[in-house]
Chains A and B, each alone.
Chain A
Amino acid sequence: MHHSVELTDVHVRLGPVDVLSGINIEARPCEFISVVGANGAGKTTLLKVVNGILKPSQGRISVLGHDLSLYKRLNLLRRDIGVVSQRSNSIRFPIRVEEAVLMGRYGKIGLMRRPRKEDWDKAFEIMEAVGIRQFCKKLVHELSGGEQQKVALARALAQEPLILLLDEPTTYLDSSAQSEIMETIHTLHHQRELTTLLVSHDSHLVEQYSDKIYLLKEGKSCLVK
């Protein structure tokens, strides 16, 4: 069986700066992998490389068996990768929770097609699983930070992804909200048999949930658990 995500000697250069210089990470199917490192260590860059948003200057990236440097249909591949970014406060227009979650289905629905009943059913099932069903008619910007993060998680899961990428999903949350969202992520990771790649600056928080932990330091990765 191939690895879900495999990075081999990956280097990334952004302008004059070598952000990543020799990253080796393997994530087998259904593994929960955490990558920890200080702010500015290149954690977000790492996720962007896995998602094909950034191209490495050197090295090989394989996602679900596809070599990203050779694979031309990244849009199709991305439909199998759910992404939860760091929480952004720049919500540009009012949007209801149910609409924001349904957005996760847009790639799978196809161009010019309207969401079908099964897409709405899937969105509601995920909202139930994540614990935000009761807020579905509320506007996203009216929710607390933790609830907004759950909306982002629900949107990513509504894609029915095989891989889940999480970029500091607990930033800006208080400690009880941090534990709550980590528990939710961990439960859904097992229930939906996801391969999860989470980056965080907080190694204590992720330790109990992770099958493997990589430390990112000075652009290099090393396996610490």
Chain B
Amino acid sequence: MSWTEILSFPFMQHALIAILFAGIAFPMIGVFVLSLNLIPLRFAMMHVALLGGAIGLFLKVDPLLLGLLFCILSSMALGPVSEKMKLGVGILSGYFMTLTLALAFILIYKADIHVLEAFNILWGNILSLTVLDLIIVGLISLMILVMVFLFFKEIQAVLYDREIAMAVGLPEKIFYYLIIFMLGLTIAVSMRMIGALLIDAFVLLPAMAATLISRSLKQTFFFSSLFGLLSGMAGLYLSFVFDIPTSSTIILVASLIIAGCFLFRRRLSGYEKVR
């Protein structure tokens, strides 16, 4: 089956456009997550979105919209609050995660909301994206690319060592908060695209593969985007051909890329030892 046949379906066109944007930009956020160890934040955002969704269902407002809004607001607050309380973002994320989950369950129970309806916010579907979704994905992807291009050296210093970034006289806190905010935004949008549980396909896995073979931050960004795009395109194509879920296929491809990078690195280090 050719791409022309696949793209004769409008929903596949939308999915491909989303993958072109997100595949390139979202893995760059994954590089931030791995460098600054922000993995707990990603889990916290999922549960914040769940609470937003539950409140949305209770108030009869679009649960997805409210979930996104909650993610954006909490990602704006998390950096400054953790700094003020002198707690790491990881610890505070754990607090947010359990608190929002508890509140969501109380609301679901008391307001008699169907649990599956609330949890729907956690399952996205890349094959059901609207034009508005594409505009949002495009805008956020553009924001990420512009941020990395304009502030590469500042981001490099913050990812290398926050204390060093501060010591050389950079406004390190502003960039750290910006990174956390962009992460919240990306997770919120990824949830709509592929579902919270499969966010790693676009955000983390390509970045993990890139860190295995890169020799600089620039290379890490480049390879993470390349792998994000590759796994997205290949996953979309294969899922259509074999009639299997798209998000899971993207993850499988991304996992194979990681395995390939790991083997490549082993071979390379073996070669260097012999040399």
Residues of A in contact with B (beta carbons under 8 Å apart):
51, 53, 75-79, 81-83, 85, 88, 91-96, 99-100, 103-109, 111-112, 114-115, 139, 155-156, 159
A79 to chain B, nearest CB (A): 4
B residues in contact with A81, CB < 8 Å:
167
Asked if residues A139 and B168 are in contact (CB atoms below 8 Å), the reply is no
B95 at the interface (CB under 8 A from A): no
B220 at the interface (CB under 8 A from A): yes
A101 to chain B, nearest CB (A): 11
B15 to chain A, nearest CB (A): 31
Interface 1/0 per residue, B134-165 and A, CB below 8 Å: 00000000000000001101101101110111
Asked if residues A88 and B161 are in contact (CB atoms below 8 Å), the reply is yes
Q: A76-B169, A93-B160, A159-B169 are in contact. List 13 more A-B contacts (CB 8 A).
A: A78-B169, A83-B163, A88-B161, A92-B160, A94-B220, A95-B216, A95-B217, A96-B216, A104-B168, A111-B154, A111-B171, A115-B153, A155-B168
- Identify 29 residue pairs between A and B in the complex whose beta-carbon atoms are under 8 Å apart, listed by A's number: A53-B163, A78-B168, A78-B169, A82-B167, A83-B164, A85-B164, A88-B161, A92-B34, A92-B159, A93-B31, A93-B159, A93-B160, A93-B214, A93-B217, A94-B216, A94-B217, A95-B217, A99-B156, A99-B216, A103-B153, A103-B157, A106-B154, A106-B168, A107-B170, A111-B151, A111-B154, A112-B150, A155-B164, A159-B168
> On chain B, which size bracket covers the interface?
20 to 34
B247 at the interface (CB under 8 A from A): no
A residues in contact with B166, CB < 8 Å:
53, 78
Main secondary structure of the interface of B (DSSP, over half): helix
Asked if residues A93 and B170 are in contact (CB atoms below 8 Å), the reply is no
Interface 1/0 per residue, B204-242 and A, CB below 8 Å: 000000010011110010000000000000000000000
Q: Which of A78, A93, A106 has the most CB of B within 10 A?
A: A93
Asked if residues B160 and A79 are in contact (CB atoms below 8 Å), the reply is no
Q: Which of B156, B157, B165, B214 has the most CB of A within 10 A?
A: B156
B216 to chain A, nearest CB (A): 6
A78 to B169, CA, bound (A): 5
A106 to B216, CA, bound (A): 17
Asked if residues B154 and A51 are in contact (CB atoms below 8 Å), the reply is no
Interface 1/0 per residue, B178-201 and A, CB below 8 Å: 000000000000000000000000
B248 at the interface (CB under 8 A from A): no
Which residue of A has the minimal Cβ distance to B214?
A94
